[in-house]
């Protein structure tokens, strides 16, 4: 059993943010009070009430005078999750891996106390957030309850462009190669898959990963 995986094809993303809002809707996560600070990216960062965030970056470009990169950031569901390795040192099995390969934070993360910061720091992608009210560590859970019921994760279901894809890992790896070839043809040799062998949320980018998001890779 190879489990499930996502392919996030950023070259097809229009930043409609349907995924960001679908995630909040499915998980009943509250909206925060935000301000317009000079970007479409809002809320400004992932948080205990934002498991998925579309990040916006713009750069000058010789070809089309500018490029606008969108990066729908959430947990990568690592094949060997370093957050679990770290957390097991303090509270055994407060982080587990489910039958689909989804990395799950459970109620026992509340027992981590001050060690929660070490678990957070153990994530190379800067994903986990502390719920200040419950003291639990939280993040994307691969919509395990939807997937168990044969449904797509809420974010994937909401995606109108084919940027977000989800399925059996083998199928997703194949799709990733097809989409990579298409992206290389269209955007050039800089197109790459970010750490496809290490994660279950594989990003396809058309340019250097760091230009999309500070923690796109490590």
What are the residues binding another protein (CB under 8 A)?
A: 15-17, 20-21, 24-25, 30-40, 42-43, 58-60, 65-66, 68
| 43 preceded by a cis bond (ω within 30 of 0) | yes
Q: Given the complex with another protein, which of 20 and 100 has the nearer CB atom?
A: 20
Minimum distance from CB of 114 to another protein (Å)? 30
Q: Given the complex with another protein, which of 52 and 77 has the nearer CB atom?
A: 52
Q: Give dist(CA 158, CA 7) in Å, integer.
A: 14
Q: Given the complex with another protein, which of 163 and 194 has the nearer CB atom?
A: 163
Minimum distance from CB of 61 to another protein (Å)? 9
Q: Give dist(CA 87, CA 73) in Å, integer.
A: 22
Ranges of beta strands (E only) in 62-112 are: 65-73, 95-97, 103-105
Q: Give dist(CA 205, CA 213) in Å, integer.
A: 11
Minimum distance from CB of 18 to another protein (Å)? 9
Antiparallel, parallel or unpaired: β 201-205 and 4-9: parallel
Spatial CA neighbour of 19 closest among 63, 61, 51: 51
Q: Given the complex with another protein, which of 57 and 131 has the nearer CB atom?
A: 57
Q: Given the complex with another protein, which of 59 and 218 has the nearer CB atom?
A: 59
The answer to whether 67 and 87 have CB atoms below 8 angstroms apart is: no
The answer to whether 87 and 74 have CB atoms below 8 angstroms apart is: no
Spatial CA neighbour of 23 closest among 163, 140, 160: 140
Minimum distance from CB of 42 to another protein (Å)? 5
Minimum distance from CB of 39 to another protein (Å)? 7
């Amino acid at each position: 059993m190879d489990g499930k995986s996502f392919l996030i094809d950023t070259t097809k993303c229009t930043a409609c943010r349907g995924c960001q809002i679908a995630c909040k809707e499915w998980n009943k996560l509250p909206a925060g009070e935000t301000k317009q600070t000079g970007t479409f990216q809002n809320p400004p960062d992932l948080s205990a009430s934002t498991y998925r965030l579309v990040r916006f970056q713009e750069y000058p470009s010789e070809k089309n005078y500018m490029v606008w990169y969108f990066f729908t950031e959430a947990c990568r569901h690592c094949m060997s999750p370093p957050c679990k390795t770290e957390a097991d040192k303090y509270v055994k099995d407060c982080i587990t891996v489910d039958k689909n390969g989804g990395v799950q934070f459970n109620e026992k993360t509340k027992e981590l106390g001050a060690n929660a910061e070490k678990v957070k720091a153990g994530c190379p992608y800067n994903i986990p957030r502390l719920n200040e009210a419950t003291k639990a560590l939280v993040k994307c859970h691969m919509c395990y309850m939807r997937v168990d019921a044969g449904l797509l994760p809420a974010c994937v279901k909401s995606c109108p462009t084919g940027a977000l894809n989800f399925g059996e890992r083998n199928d997703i790896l194949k799709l990733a190669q097809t989409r990579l070839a298409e992206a290389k043809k269209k955007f050039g040799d800089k197109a790459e898959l970010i750490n496809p062998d290490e994660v279950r949320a594989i990003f396809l980018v058309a340019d250097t990963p760091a230009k999309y998001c500070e923690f796109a890779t490590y």
